[in-house]
Amino acid sequence: MFINFPEINDLMIQDREVTIPKMVTIRQHFDTYQIADIPLHIREQMEANAGAPERFKGKRIAITAGSRGIPDIVVILRAICDILKEWGAKPFVVPAMGSHGGATAKGQEEVLASYGITEAGIGAPIRSSMDVVQYGTLPNGIPLFCDKLAFESDGIVICHKIKPHTDFRNEHESGLCKMIAIGLGKHKGAAAIHSQGFCGFGSFITEAARQFLQAAPVAFGVGMIQNAYDEIHTLEVIPGAQIMEADARLLKAAKQQLAGFKFDDIDVLIIDRIGKNISGYGFDPNVVGRSNSRCYGFEDPVRIKRLFIRGLTPESHHNGSGINEADITTRRCLNDIDWSETWTNLITATEIQGSKIPMYVNNDKEALTIALRCCNGAPRPHRVARIKDTLSMKELQVSEALYEAIRDQPDIEYVRGPEEILFDGEGFMAD
């Protein structure tokens, strides 16, 4: 139970008038290309780049599946499994998500099931275990681990999306190399590498991937890039020997596809929901800023005075990682967080500052009022923005003052408004 928070009263805001602005709905325009027929595309890619079908006959092939939300992931995994079975292989999926899912085999299987990744959904077994084997050692003595079921298979398919990391900058960030070093390392491997902090993270995952590709029975890689509309823009099947080159190349392309704000000066940003399916940090600092690791080469892409986070996604399984970056939230949001789940994740990452609890109040109306009240600087109409989450950057709401500043940009389209923000009888906004 959290302590009761006092009711907001006139004494708290009497020295400055606070008016909740009306909001205008706008649409931001990005590159719209997406792969139209994913199963056909995968078949063409596998036939061209996975190797001769005969080499897979009778082989047990492990395919990685992580905890990040990937559009059409069930379609993608099903297509890979179907083709491998046509070639005579025996594919199965292993959860590759470090310590997520409470660092238990059952928890990780439940995370996959929440995305529809089940035996019925993909046509292949899900084999979840936290057992690992050591395949190498970093130069500083840190051991490198891999999921035992995957390592002892006849071939591993490294399947993951590629995007900028939320905490550091390097040639290899969040992608195939990180899936190898952290995801397949399970809790033991993820904890070992995270124990070194993010300062050298890029070099650690690079070296881990290099050793893994020499030691493990890697069949091929599947690298994906999402466009700004959370659709599959690029999907490549990559021969094992080319995984590291492709990972670096696709990262550069992914940075060009990343959705973001078409403006960079916000007084109050409202995020309706955060979650591990949205980003490892709950929200993507590449969009919002406020990374745990600003000192590791990360620069905020937008200026935000106050951040109000309203809630969590169901797919996050109550993992509240990222809530610490909010300036304010509500008691309801905090009560939705499973702190054991969250702290397990943060301790593994050694980024325990992520467990801090922000100021919290009774409802959304109080939170927004305080956030507006506490925007310091020269007096001006408040520039407020509201997004569903950092994967939903196509359509968003902005205050009238912000809209007037950006309305003439060619990549901004008016949709409707201005409209009052509506609150229910308990003071909460509609989702």
Strands (E), 353-421: 359-361, 384-387, 395-399, 412-419
Can you list the alpha helix ranges (DSSP code H) found in 237-355?
243-257, 285-288, 331-335, 339-349
pLDDT tens-digit series, residues 350-395: 778 877 899 999 999 999 999 999 998 767 889 999 999 998 999 9
What is the C-alpha separation between 333 and 318, in angstroms, rounded?
A: 10
Highest mean pLDDT, choosing among 190-194, 339-343, 405-409: 405-409
What is the C-alpha separation between 154 and 160, in angstroms, rounded?
A: 20
pLDDT tens-digit series, residues 310-348: 999 988 888 988 899 999 999 999 999 999 888 888 887
What is the C-alpha separation between 417 and 309, in angstroms, rounded?
A: 23
Whether the per-residue pLDDT at 11 is higher than 50: the answer is no
Cα 134 versus chain centre, distance? 27
List all residues 6 or more positions away from 15 whose beta carbon is below 8 Å from its beta carbon.
none
3-state SS class at 61: strand
Query: Hey, what amino acid is at 275?
Result: G
List all residues 6 or more positions away from 37 whose beta carbon is below 8 Å from its beta carbon.
none
Question: What integer pLDDT is reported at residue 4 of this predicted model?
Answer: 56
- Which run of H or E residues covers position 338? none
Asked whether 366 and 332 are in contact (CB, 8 A), the reply is no
| pTM score, whole prediction | 0.75
Cβ-based neighbour number of residue 74 at 10 Å = 16
